[in-house]
Amino acid sequence: MNLHEESRPLVVVGAGPAGLCAAMEAAGAGLPPLVLDEGSQGGGQLVKQIHRFFGSREHGAGKRGFEIAVELVSGCLEGGAEIRLGHRVLGFFRDGRLLVDGGEGVFLLRPGATILATGAVERSFPFPGWTLPGVMGAGAAQTLVNLHGVLPGKRALMVGAGNVGLIVAYQLLQAGMEVAGVIEVSRRVGGYLVHAERLRREGVPLFLRHRVVAAEGGKEVESVLVEDMETGALKRFLVDTLCLAVGMAPQAELAAMRGCRLVHVPELGGFLPWHDREMRTDHPGVYVAGDLAGVEEASVAMDEGRLAGLAAARDAGVLDPGKAAARMREIGARLELLRGGPFGEPRRRAKERLCSLPGSARGREDGDRVRRKGRLKKR
């Protein structure tokens, strides 16, 4: 089969905060990017976020996620990047070419350099009844209410008291659903306390040390059985919707297809492509950024994207190494700050550990060992 093929100096896969910031930085440095995203809107996760963001001014703090998305997209276009929406990247071959489904058929791209910023996918876990209609990812429920203006059901139970669980539970209330509660296996709330506090004020109970036993119903969810892990007592919640917010995992398929070395880092969401502090993988010309390089936050994703864009432009010979280094230092210092505090500290240490693993041939052997064992030893 003879497929249409295009050459590009830089292709960015994913138009979330990481991909858009990478594209903006690269475009500014003189390496014009083509950005591909399978969605119908640029902005990635941000388009579903209607709460005000934390962070600093550089990261759009105080604005709502979808507002930041609009700003990033227009910044990218003004900077000279091309964005093609509705384009899903299906393959990343060992020879460096990308196979793309543009809706009307597939074609090939031959990039000079590639920045992968494909984000993360929601995790799930099995329990009796988990395939009943009405059980869904918290992100799916969030997409329905905030993007499509449709309710997934009448009354929901949320599993997971991390930021995603807390925020989405609140947003379901805002959209007009009832929320019966948020259950969490651990002893403490994983997300920011402000989000938990808002739910408490709305009268939504938080059940710590509780786990899902089963989702029940004939053809759809009608109730959910939950166990109090301290006492063993069972509670039945009469809900038609069960939302799972039990973590995200980097979407590393394309990186794996390309042959990039994958490392397992539990604190950052699981298997992710090895990279150095400049977001370079072990394959020259392939860079990663954002949740794909470790599940963190939009602010981190933006700065990692900027690093990747700078590194790509410098490595392509269009950006003066001295200038690149100065700007990277500035961004690196900001990332340090973002990863400060009790929430950021474990992630900061995990990143350190990851970046200090050698990316050389011996490193690759290590990587294979890591892959076989399925775990990165803590040092």
Ligand X SMILES: Cc1cc2nc3c(=O)[nH]c(=O)nc-3n(C[C@H](O)[C@H](O)[C@H](O)COP(=O)(O)OP(=O)(O)OC[C@H]3O[C@@H](n4cnc5c(N)ncnc54)[C@H](O)[C@@H]3O)c2cc1C
Applying CB under 8 A, the residues found at the interface with another protein are 38-39, 50, 64, 121-122, 124, 131-137, 139-140, 143-146, 148-154, 174-176, 219-220
Cβ proximity to ligand X, 128 vs 266, nearer residue: 266
Question: Sign (positive/negative) of CA torsion 176, 177, 183, 184?
Answer: negative
Q: Segment 39-58, which members bind ligand X (CB under 6 A)?
A: 39, 44-46, 49, 53-55
Tokens of 214: 């089963």
- C-alpha 291 chain-centroid distance: 4
Tell me which of ligand X, another protein, none is bound by residue 301, counting a contact when its beta carbon lies within the kind-specific cut-off of 5 to 8 angstroms. ligand X
β-sheet bridge partners, residue 183:
159, 207
Cβ proximity to another protein, 18 vs 24, nearer residue: 18
- C-alpha 346 chain-centroid distance: 17
Cβ proximity to another protein, 147 vs 316, nearer residue: 147
Backbone angles phi, psi at 171, to 5 degrees: -70, -30
- C-alpha 182 chain-centroid distance: 22
As a whole number of angstroms, the distance between CA 17 and CA 14 comes to 9
Q: Does 92 bind ligand X (CB under 6 A)?
A: no
Q: Does 244 bind ligand X (CB under 6 A)?
A: no
Tell me which of ligand X, another protein, none is bound by residue 330, counting a contact when its beta carbon lies within the kind-specific cut-off of 5 to 8 angstroms. none
One residue of 156, 301, 312, 350 binding ligand X per CB under 6 A: 301
As a whole number of angstroms, the distance between CA 118 and CA 256 comes to 12
Neighbours of 82 (CB within 10 A): 15
As a whole number of angstroms, the distance between CA 208 and CA 189 comes to 8
Cβ proximity to ligand X, 170 vs 207, nearer residue: 170
Least distance (Å) between residue 227 CB and ligand X = 26
Least distance (Å) between residue 327 CB and ligand X = 20
- C-alpha 91 chain-centroid distance: 19
Least distance (Å) between residue 289 CB and another protein = 20
Pick the piece of the chain touching ligand X (CB under 6 A) from 116-124, 213-221, 227-235, 363-371: 116-124
Q: Does 139 bind ligand X (CB under 6 A)?
A: yes
One residue of 10, 11, 12, 18 binding ligand X per CB under 6 A: 18
Which of the 8 DSSP states describes residue 6? E
Q: Segment 269-298, which members bind ligand X (CB under 6 A)?
A: 290-292, 296-298
Q: Does 115 bind ligand X (CB under 6 A)?
A: no
Tokens 């993007």 identify what position? Answer: 147
Tell me which of ligand X, another protein, none is bound by residue 135, counting a contact when its beta carbon lies within the kind-specific cut-off of 5 to 8 angstroms. another protein
Are the CB atoms for 294 and 257 separated by under 8 Å? no
Tokens 């962070």 identify what position? Answer: 55
Cβ proximity to ligand X, 37 vs 282, nearer residue: 37
Least distance (Å) between residue 116 CB and ligand X = 9
Cβ proximity to ligand X, 32 vs 39, nearer residue: 39
DSSP string, 200-243: HHTT--EEETEEEEEEE-SSS--EEEEEETTT--EEEE--SEEE
Report the residue count for the chain: 379
Pick the piece of the chain touching ligand X (CB under 6 A) from 71-79, 114-122, 256-264, 365-373: 114-122
Which of the 8 DSSP states describes residue 144? I
Cβ proximity to ligand X, 23 vs 376, nearer residue: 23
Cβ proximity to another protein, 150 vs 333, nearer residue: 150
Which of the 8 DSSP states describes residue 48? G
As a whole number of angstroms, the distance between CA 49 and CA 142 comes to 8
Cβ proximity to another protein, 228 vs 253, nearer residue: 253
Query: What are the residues binding ligand X (CB under 6 A)?
Result: 13-19, 36-39, 44-46, 49, 53-55, 88-89, 117-119, 139, 142, 163-164, 167-168, 251, 254, 290-292, 296-299, 301
